């Protein structure tokens, strides 16, 4: 990477209050015209971490100074974008404020030092198709009626949930909190039959946004129980989908989340036992428990693998694939969030450096020094706008090629898991695609 040099210039007509640094969002260059400054949030974040008061604004004119000129002193460097157009990085302060000027110079020079050509492996959405469809149904219902009750949690970011509440959505933890006759949406993780019965008794208008794969697991649990089997759900107690699946046959269903719990399963007839991998967690996380269960009960029966939910597996493999191809991975989300920590651990397990950011201003120049490939991993706690903000900011540091690498699992030979007609079975295959 070539090192860009920050030059000192004067911005006639631009004033900056004492103690403040102005970070340019646009800079008027005498020869190149008005240049965009996409990396402005990166410069501003560096200054704020150093305790400097920051303001963002356009700087219409910036050029060589003469003794008679008045205005703020700026430090500016330029970079070329992927399409060959020039961008700028600039910050300045009052000519009489030595501390602020020194801070402005240091910040611009720090980011100028990491200007260069890079590849960005873009973040894939953390939300599975079932969650996306449930959110779409919630928005459609709100647009039509203006008010909607959502039972329990909706798989969406905190910002999206706040947006829904502002539009008239009410998140209810109990059906008793919902007025008679109101519309209630069941999210993608589904609900137990008892809850649906109670909703019907209360005259509620049910909008069923249950994911088709979750609904399929619920149907399998009923089918297994109806034939007289003990049903073992292999998964995580407390996960949102658990109540809806175990509730299909509560007297004949249990959950096993570890090899130890599989070893504690007790059944009256060892020939009458079936198991289900829980939708919403990586299939690979259930294999050891499945093996432990089958070693104790060789006759245990499971569902058709074509009906498994592979969304979490695909997401895990996507993060690993991205991390293995990058020098550094930016994990987008709240630092104290479990999903964010999980993604950071996945990236580090592939020997990539991982840094968690909740805002674009948190990116440090030192993280990018010597890097040619940057990965993004978006957690469920990340702002929906953050990935785009990161892409925009990094585009101000030189040519940036943005690609998306995503592992997807395709079920061959069967279009809908719920259909149980004879088919020619083909193996499950997994592919990695880069766009």
pLDDT value, residue 431? 46
Residue 422: what pLDDT? 34
Average pLDDT, the chain: 91
Task: Report whether pLDDT(89) > 90.
Answer: yes
> 338-365: per-residue pLDDT in tens?
999 999 999 999 999 999 999 999 999 9
Reading the block at residue 100, the tokens are 């602020």
Section 263-287 average pLDDT: 93
Using a 10 angstrom Cβ sphere, with 0-12 exposed, 13-18 middle and 19 or more buried, the burial of residue 333 is buried
pLDDT-based confidence at residue 289 (cuts at 50, 70, 90): very high
Compute CA distances 414 → 49, 282, 411, whole Å.
Answer: 54, 21, 6
Nearest alpha-carbon partner for 299 in 320, 269, 263, 321: 269
Numbered ranges of CATH 3.40.50.11270 in the chain: 129-210
pLDDT the model gives residue 6? 82
**CATH class assigned to 217-307:** alpha beta
> Which architecture characterizes domain 312-409 according to CATH?
3-Layer(aba) Sandwich (3.40)
CA dihedral 141, 143, 149, 153 (to 10 degrees): 80
In the predicted model, is pLDDT for residue 280 greater than 80?
Answer: yes
Give the whole-angstrom CA distance, residue 19 versus residue 348: 40
Domain 129-210 has CATH 3.30.420.40: no
Helix (H) or strand (E) holding 25: strand 20-29
Residue 5 — φ and ψ, nearest 5°? -105, 135
pTM for the complete prediction?
0.88
Residue 92 pLDDT > 90: yes
| Residue 287 clears pLDDT 90, i.e. is over it | yes
pLDDT digits (tens, 9 = 90+) for 366-385: 999 999 999 999 999 999 99
- pLDDT at residue 414 in the model: 58
> Could you read off the pLDDT of 210-260 as tens digits, one per residue?
999 999 999 999 999 999 999 999 999 989 999 999 999 999 999 999 999
Residues of the chain with pLDDT > 70: what percent? 92
CA distance 425 to 413: 6
Sequence ranges of the chain with CATH classification 3.40.1010.20: 217-307, 312-409
For residue 360, report the phi and psi dihedrals to the nearest 5 degrees: -60, -30
| pLDDT for the residue numbered 216 | 96
User: Which two tokens mark 231?
Assistant: 């049903």
């Amino acid at each position: 990477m070539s090192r860009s040099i920050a030059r000192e210039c004067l911005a006639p007509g631009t004033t900056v209050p004492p103690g403040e640094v102005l970070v340019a969002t646009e800079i008027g260059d005498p020869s190149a015209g008005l240049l965009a400054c996409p990396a402005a949030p990166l410069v501003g974040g560096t200054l704020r971490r150093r305790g400097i008061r920051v303001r963002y604004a356009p700087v219409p004119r910036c050029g060589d100074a003469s003794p008679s000129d008045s205005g703020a002193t700026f430090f500016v460097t330029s970079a070329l974008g992927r399409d060959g157009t020039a961008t700028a990085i600039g910050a300045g302060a009052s000519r009489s404020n030595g501390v602020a000027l020194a801070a402005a110079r240091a910040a611009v020079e720090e980011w100028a030092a990491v200007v260069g050509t890079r590849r960005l492996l873009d973040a894939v959405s953390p939300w599975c198709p079932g969650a996306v469809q449930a959110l779409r149904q919630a928005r459609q219902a709100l647009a039509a009626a203006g008010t909607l009750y959502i039972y329990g949690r909706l798989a969406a970011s905190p910002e999206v949930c706040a947006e829904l509440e502002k539009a008239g959505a009410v998140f209810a933890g109990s059906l008793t909190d919902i007025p008679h006759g109101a519309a209630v949406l069941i999210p993608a993780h589904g609900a137990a039959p008892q809850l649906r019965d109670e909703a019907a008794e209360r005259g509620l208008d049910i909008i069923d946004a249950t994911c088709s794969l979750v609904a399929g697991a619920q149907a399998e649990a009923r089918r297994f129980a109806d034939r007289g089997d003990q049903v073992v759900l292999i998964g995580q107690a407390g996960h949102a989908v658990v109540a809806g699946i175990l509730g299909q046959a509560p007297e004949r269903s249990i959950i096993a989340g570890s090899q130890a719990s599989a070893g504690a399963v007790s059944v009256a007839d060892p020939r009458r036992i079936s198991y289900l991998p829980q939708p919403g967690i990586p299939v690979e996380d259930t294999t050891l428990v499945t093996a432990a269960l089958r070693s104790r009960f060789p006759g245990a029966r499971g569902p058709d693998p074509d009906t498994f939910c592979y969304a979490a597996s695909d997401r895990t493999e996507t993060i690993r694939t991205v991390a293995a191809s990058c020098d550094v991975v930016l994990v987008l989300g709240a630092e104290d969030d479990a999903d964010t920590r999980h993604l950071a651990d996945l990236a580090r397990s592939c020997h990539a450096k991982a840094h968690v950011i909740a805002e674009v201003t948190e990116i440090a120049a030192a993280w990018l020094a010597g890097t040619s490939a940057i990965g993004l991993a978006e957690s469920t706690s990340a702002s929906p706008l953050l990935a785009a903000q990161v892409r925009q900011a990094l585009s101000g540091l030189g040519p940036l090629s943005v690609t998306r690498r995503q592992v997807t699992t395709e079920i061959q030979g069967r279009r809908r898991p719920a259909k149980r007609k004879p088919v020619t079975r083909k193996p499950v295959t997994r592919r990695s695609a880069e766009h």
